[in-house]
Amino acid sequence: DGGITQSPKYLFRKEGQNVTLSCEQNLNHDAMYWYRQDPGQGLRLIYYSQIVNDFQKGDIAEGYSVSREKKESFPLTVTSAQKNPTAFYLCASRKDRDPYNEQFFGPGTRLTVL
Amino acid sequence: AQSVSQHNHHVILSEAASLELGCNYSYGGTVNLFWYVQYPGQHLQLLLKYFSGDPLVKGIKGFEAEFIKSKFSFNLRKPSVQWSDTAEYFCAVNGNNRKLIWGLGTSLAVNP
């Protein structure tokens, strides 16, 4: 089955540690996105990538970093510079040349920083 | 500025009640509009979408939405809700650079 996988589902880290969240898709989509979801705040865009080896900052990129070395993978690193990292993180992708911009989502990773 | 406003943050209904969730957007270009749903413990998934043509759009599970251009609105409706409709609902509009602009979400609780 085609889809987006995110691992792990739950992640615990100590304050001050960097942590990398995985996102893999086998939909052959070119564009990928990382969102942060907090209660009552909707989805806020962290980073997005339209093609391999290229990515752009979203609305809340501070304290995060990404890479896009392969089309199917878009890992997100939450660095120690992120002041409030505990949140639910969602990865999404969009079909190439889709004029309507529909996005498909993974199951999410819930990160808790202790 | 591009934005999406969802009027209701929390809605509580009894089964068989009718549902309408408000969504207004601000965007100057051609709009593509979406409603996504997030059931407890599940992926965020597309409920329905509007791109062009008939402004009344039908989605999965008996949901529909009406695009009213003059009101910049895309309200979600369902004539009779079920307990299984308990979820969080998000409205979104296409923005610049192929991004989506999201509303803050509406949490719906349906009591059996």
Give the model confidence (pLDDT) of A70-102 as tens digits.
Answer: 999 999 999 988 889 999 999 999 987 777 778
Q: What is the pLDDT of residue A98?
A: 77
Q: What is the dihedral of CA A61, A96, B58, B60, to 10 degrees?
A: -80
* CB pair distance less than 8 Å for A42 and B90: yes
Nearest CA in chain A to B6: A42
Nearest CA in chain A to B10: A40
List all residues 6 or more positions away from A97 whose beta carbon is below 8 Å from its beta carbon: none
Does A50 lie at the interface with B, CB-CB under 8 angstroms?
yes
| Residue pair B91/B29 in contact by the 8 Å Cβ criterion | no
* CB pair distance less than 8 Å for A42 and B44: no
Tell me the C-alpha distance between B64 and B43, whole Å. 20
Give the model confidence (pLDDT) of B30-47 as tens digits.
Answer: 889 999 999 998 889 999
Tell me the C-alpha distance between A31 and A55, whole Å. 9
Is residue B78 scored above 70 in pLDDT? Answer: yes
Give the model confidence (pLDDT) of A36-73 as tens digits.
Answer: 999 888 999 999 999 999 999 999 999 999 999 999 99
Does A2 lie at the interface with B, CB-CB under 8 angstroms?
no
Q: What is the pLDDT of residue A1?
A: 61
